Amino acid sequence: MTVAHSHRFSTALNPINISLLSKQLIQLGRINNADTFSEISRQKEVLVSSLISKLDVCTGLDQIKQVHGHIIRQGLDQSCYIIAKLIRTLTKLGVPMDPYPRRVMESVQFRNPFLWTAVIRGYAIQGKLLEAISMYGCMRKEGITPVSFTFSALLKACGFVRDLNLGRQFHAQTFRLRGFCFVYVGNTMIDMYVKCGSIDCARKVFDEMPERDVISWTELIAAYARAGNMESASELFESLPTKDMVAWTAMVTGFAQNAKPQEALEYFDRMEKSGIRADEVTVAGFISACAQLGASKYADRAVEIARKCGYSPRDHVVIGSALIDMYSKCGNVEEALHVFESMNNKNVFSYSSMILGLAMHGRAQEALDLFNYMVTHTTVKPNTVTFVGVLTACSHAGLVDQGRQIFASMHQTFGVKPTSDHYTCMVDLLGRAGRLQEALEVIKTMSVEPHGGVWGALLGACRIHKDPDVAEIAAKHLFELEPDIIGNYILLSNVYASAGDWDGVLSVRKLIKRKGLKKTPAVSWVVDNRGKMHKFFPGYMNHPMLNKIEDTLEELVQRLTVLGYQPDLSSVPYNVSDDEKRSILIRHTEKLALAFSLLTTSRDSSIKIMKNLRMCQDCHTFMRLASEVTGRVIIMRDNMRFHHFRSGACSCGDFW
C-alpha cells in the first residue's frame, strides 16, 4: 500500500468520514442496505463521542487504561482520531511518553499527522526535545506532511530548553511548508524567540505575521517589559488596536518592575478609565508601584483599589503579600504586621515579605522569631527569598553567630542551595562586623560564582572600616564584572578618602573620567499631605522656600550643637578645607528634606524621608539628635534600610 493510500485509509477510520466509507462499501457490494450502514455509522459516532467524553474526565492512569480497553474491544484501536486523543489525555496527566503512550502510537499501523503531532507534543511538554525531534524525523521519513500544530509543539519545545539554533531551523521549515500562515504558530514562534533571549527576532516575526491576535501583541509587550525596554513596550502597546486586561497588566507590572512607579500608576489610571477591570496581578503591580514611591497617601489608595476590585488581603494571598511589602517600604511596618496577622491564608511569599519588612526596619529579633515560628508551627517551607530576609535581619543587627547557623541550615536542614544573594548577605554580615578577612575567605570558598553584589558588599564594608587593601581586591573584581557601574568607583574613592589617601582618590576619579561615567546624583524626597512629591538635590538653590529652609537648618544646627553635635568632616570624600566640608554637609539632600518637612507638616505627625543613596554618618547623627530636639519621629529610608529616629535614638542601634 502506498503512503497516499495509507493516509486515505487512516483518515477513513475517523468518525467524520464514515459516510464516505459507507458509499465505498456499498459500491464494493459488501453491504446492500444503505440505511442499515447509516445506523451502524450513527452508533459508531455515538460510541466514539462517548469514549472521548470518558477520556476527558479521566483523572488517573487506571481510568485511562480502562477506557483504552473499551477502545480495543470496539475495534477502534487503529483510529488515529481517538488514539491521538488518548495520548493527549495521558500527556495532560503527566504520564511519561515512554513506554505507554509511545507503544500506543506504534501499535497504529497507518498514522496520520495529528497522531504524530500528539506524540511530538507529549515529548515536548515533558521537556524531551531530542525525542520530539526524533519523532518528527520518523514522521517525515514516512512521508507524512506536518500540520501547523506540529510546528507549534516543536517551537514550544525549543523555547522550553532555550535552543535558539534549533528553533531557527524549525522557523525556516514553517516557511517552506506554509505553517507560518497560522497565527498560533507565529505566536509560539514569538514565545520561542523571547524565551531564547532574542527579542529582536521575535519582533521580526511579529512584523512579518500576515495575521495577529491580541496574544501576539501582549507576548511581545511583556517581553519588552521584562527586558526593561519600556519605550518599545509603550510604542507597541499604543499601536495595539484592542487593549485587553492582559495587555494593560503587562504595562502596569512592567513599569513597576523597572522602577518607574509614576508611569505604572498613570497606566493603571488609564486602564480604569477605559473600563477594563483589573485582575489580581494588575492590582499587585499597582501596589508594587505605590511601595516604590514610599508614601502613605499612595498606600491608602492601593488598599482602596484592592478592595474596590474585590481583592481583600484576608482572602487573597497575592494581594496580602503585596500590601505587606508596600507598607514595609512606606515605613509603616506596624500596618504591614496588621495585614499579615489578618490574612486567613499565608504562604511562603507572605511570610518572606513580612520577614524582609521586619529586617529592613531593624527589627531583627522579630524577623528571626517569625522565621522560627514558620518552620516549627506551620507547613510552610522557606525558600531562597525567605533566607535572604532572615540573613539580612542578622546582617543589620550584627548577629554573626545566628547568621552562621541559619546559613548552614539552609541546605542541611531545608534543602535550599545557597545562591550568590545568600553569600552576599553573609559577606555583608561579616563585613559590617569588621571581619573583612573572614568575609573574603567566604567569597573564595563559594559554591557558586560570585556576582557583583558579593564583591560590592565587601567593598561597602571596607568603606565602613577604612580598609583600602581589601577594598582594592574587591574593586578589581567589580571593575571586571561591572565596568560601567559608577557606584563601584565611587565606593573605592570613598575608601581612599576615609583613609586619607588623596592620591588614590585622584586616580579613581581619573579612571571615571577616562571611562566617561556619570555620577548618580543624590536625591531625597518627601510627599506632602496632598500627595505631591518634593525632591531635593545637593546644593539645591531653586526651591521657592529656599530662604526658609536655610534659616530652619541654621537654627536646627545651633540647637543640636548644644547637645554636642559636631559635623563629621570625614563624611565628605573631598580634599577641601574644613569650612567647605561643613558647607557641603549642611546641604546634604536629607537635611534639606528634613527642614522642608519641619516647615510644612504638623508637630504631631512623623516625618518620612526617602533617599536613593546610602545615608552618611554625619546625616545619621544629625537625624538622631534632631528627633530629640524637635520631639518628632523621623523615618529615613536610604538604599539599604529604614532608620526610625525617636527621642534621640535610632532603630538600628547605630549599627548600620
| Residue 94, pLDDT score | 83
Q: Where are the CATH 1.25.40.10 domain residues in the chain?
A: 213-345, 418-520
In order of 44, 191, 557, the CA distances from 587 in angstroms are 87, 51, 12
pLDDT (tens digit per residue) in 319-352:
999 999 999 988 899 999 999 999 999 999 999 9
Cell of 341: 496577622
C-beta of residue 405 within 8 angstroms of C-beta of residue 368: no
| Residue 33, pLDDT score | 53
In CATH terms, the fold of domain 418-520 is 1.25.40
3 state DSSP class of 646 = strand
User: Could you tell me which residue, 419 or 543, shows the higher pLDDT?
Assistant: 419
The structure's pTM equals: 0.74
Mean pLDDT, range 260-272, rounded to an integer: 91
| Residue 185, pLDDT score | 85
* Cα 363 to Cα 345: distance, rounded to the nearest angstrom: 24
Q: Nearest-CA neighbor of 115 among 21, 185, 13, 183?
A: 13
C-beta of residue 22 within 8 angstroms of C-beta of residue 37: yes
User: Could you tell me which residue, 387 or 535, shows the higher pLDDT?
Assistant: 387
What 253-257 contacts at long range (C-beta under 8 Å, 24+ apart), as own/partner pairs, is 253/225, 253/281, 253/282, 253/284, 253/285, 253/288, 254/221, 254/222, 254/224, 254/225, 254/226, 254/230, 255/225, 255/230, 255/289, 256/285, 256/286, 256/288, 256/289, 256/292, 257/225, 257/226, 257/285, 257/288
> What is the dotted CATH code of the domain comprising 213-345?
1.25.40.10
Chain mean pLDDT for the chain: 86
Q: State the residue for C-alpha cell 577594598.
A: 471
